[in-house]
Amino acid sequence: MGVAYMQDGELQDTTLILVRHGQTVWNREERWQGQKDSLLTALGQEQAARMAERLASLKIGALYSSDLGRAKHTAEIIAGRLGLSVTLREDLRERSYGVLEGKTSREAAASEGSWFLTWNADHLRQSPPAGETEQVLRERAVEALNEIADAHPGETVVVSTHGGPIKSTLFHLFSIPLALWRLTWVANGSLTTLRGTRDVMRLMTWNDTCHLQPAAPSAEDMED
């Protein structure tokens, strides 16, 4: 993650501010979203606006986004406040959940049969039908962020994406055991900041939601 660039004999750090999109209707209804889309709720739009205000005091070099509507809408709200354009990337998308997309876990258990319960018990290593594994998600997310860092040495860059890509990147960079996946969280409207070079990437913030209080929902939304 990040690339070492020289300026006056010193390495320049790249700062990546990873933004999880605002709350969507399907987040609120606890449906698997994956690569299907759902509109931001009023709360989700407020979360995006609060992120924009939080970021307005920083010197932001560029703004990237997943091309899925919920991340794109979040990025557009931020872009409007910061006076930036949004560069869309397909490889910043959420993990594909295939046949599960649009369903709640209860609906999936009822309609998809016993495979769903088996898959859900080991959902990181296995892919649902027509979906992706966590490893596939991790590889494309990490490569996307490397490419963005390569293009912006010494700059601060905002990336509007999803809970899955953010968590997969963190678990990869810091060798966090996958067994801890469900014990960690990336909230809607949160900021996660990385800074460093390819050899040494530091975690500055994880799931920072200070700007959302007291607007953040009390219940945890599904991460995708």
Active-site residue list = 21, 94
33, 95, 117, 189 from 36: Cα distances, Å? 6, 10, 22, 19
**Partners of residue 10 on adjacent β-strands:** 7
The four Cα atoms 142, 192, 219, 102 give a dihedral, to 10 degrees, of: -30
Between CA 140 and CA 146 the distance in angstroms is 10
Q: What single string gives the DSSP state of each residue in 118-163?
A: HHHHTTTTSPPTT---HHHHHHHHHHHHHHHHHHSTT-EEEEEE-H
Instruction: Note the residue count of the chain.
Output: 224
Q: In angstroms, how far is the first alpha carbon of the chain from the final one?
A: 23
